[in-house]
Every structure is written in C-alpha cells, then in structure tokens.
Amino acid sequence: MKYYCILPFLLLTLISSAQTLSPAISVHDPVMIKQDSLYYIFCTGFGISVWSSADMYHWKKEKPVFDAPPQWALRAIPGFKGHIWAPDISYHNGLYYLYYAVSAFGKNTSAIGLATNKTLYHASPDYKWEDHGKIIQSVPGRDKWNAIDPNLVTDDAGISWLTFGSFWEGIKLVKLNADLASVAQPEEWYTIAARPRDFVTPDTAAGNAAIEVKQDQCVVSVHQQTKFCRLRSYFSRFSNVFDHARLQGT
C-alpha cells in the first residue's frame, strides 16, 4: 500500500515541477531582455505572455502583463478580445518600455500601445505595469499601412523612432518624442521597406544602419516557404537616411 500512496505523490510533484520550469516552450513573436540574473521573454498572447529563466533553458511561466484587455484597445479595435501581438521591450531612463500591437486579423484595423514598469521582478513592491494607451493607429480606407509589430530604435544623435508595419505599403518609421510615449511634432513618417525594388542594387552599397524584413505570410506550417531580406541605409543617421533614400526590399 505504501507504493500506491507514494507514487501518486511523486507523479503530482513531477507534474508540478514540469509546469514551473520547462525546457520546451512555444512562443510567438518573442522578445527577450535581462534584468539582474533573470532573462524575460515577452511574446504574443492574451494580456502579453511572459516567461522567465535564469539560464535561458529552463523557463517559468509568469503572469501576463495585463489581467484584462486595455480599455482603449477595446474601443479602438472592434472584436478585440485581449490577444496582444508582437511586443517589443527596452530599458531607458530607469523604466522598461513595452510596446505592443492590437489588431483585427487580416485587416489594418490596428494600433500600437505602450506600457512601462520600474522592474520586471514580480515579487518587487515596485512591480506594476502602467499602460500609456495608444501611440499610433491605422484605419482601413484612410491609411495604407498597418500599425503592428513595433520596434523601438535610437539613431546616432539619440533620437528615438518607432518602426512597425506588415503588408500594405510595407515597413514604416515614425519619430517619437523624448518621452518615448508619443509621436513627435511636427510629425516625421517614412517608408523604410516595401516590396518593389531595383534588384540590381548591390547589398554592399550600404552604410551603418540595417534591418531585416520578411515577405509573404507568417509561418503557419513547416511546409511554408518564407523569404527574408536585409536592408541597409546609405547614411549613419536615420533622420538623414529617409530624407534622401527609400530602401525597398527584394
């Protein structure tokens, strides 16, 4: 009888352990950042999925960033249920900046929001995500771009820009204010990647900045083929790059 009593206990212990730390996790659109001794992954999911790890091999499932869908997103995106896409995180001026996208699938009914936190460590008394709401929004019939897949970049002069986009007229760039939470005035918008291109332009004709873009659909099966291309600027500063050149992907 002892064996029958102990075995279920051991089985439950193993299951519990496997749920706490796992070397095999599945994530979509991940971004990773390190705070102190822990690595954190933020990825597409309800409320923005979060994982933590001390070794980048064994991962612990953390609480999502949002317990409930942001109210501004519910108003902006009809049918939005809280599934948030492609977060991007970075650390500036004592805060973690987490950009994220909300969208109606297959449409450019989309918007990019921002949340900030003093720490990523859940047990800290300073742990609290503050949502700053919408940064930009794309509207069908008005905009020929899609406000998803954000990424924060800073040029050599310390000016911050938000890159984003998918399908429609490609990858866009918009200048941000110093607070990183709003679009700078007067507004500066650029197209940095679009499908049409003079393919004879050599990749070696490049400067200091580079991005990678993907063509066609996101990977939905192991049999799907996906094309990637690398784009480079001809100038060192983003503010100069897009005044003088429009980079287009193959």
Q: Going residue by residue through the chain (250 aa), what tens digit of pLDDT does each one get?
A: 433 333 333 333 333 444 467 777 899 999 999 999 999 999 999 999 999 999 999 999 999 999 999 999 999 999 999 999 999 999 999 999 999 999 998 889 999 999 999 999 999 999 999 999 999 999 998 988 899 999 999 999 999 999 999 878 889 999 999 999 999 999 999 998 776 545 454 444 433 334 455 544 554 444 444 444 444 544 334 444 343 333 333 3
* 29 classed as catalytic: yes
The one catalytic residue in 29, 88, 149, 155 is 29
The one catalytic residue in 130, 156, 212, 243 is 212
**Secondary structure E strands in the chain:** 31-35, 38-43, 45-46, 49-53, 60-62, 83-92, 95-103, 110-117, 130-138, 151-154, 160-164, 171-175, 189-193, 210-215, 227-232
Architecture of the domain whose range is 24-193? 5 Propeller (2.115)
Express each pLDDT in 110-168 by its tens digit.
999 999 999 999 999 999 999 999 999 999 989 888 999 999 999 999 999 999 998 78
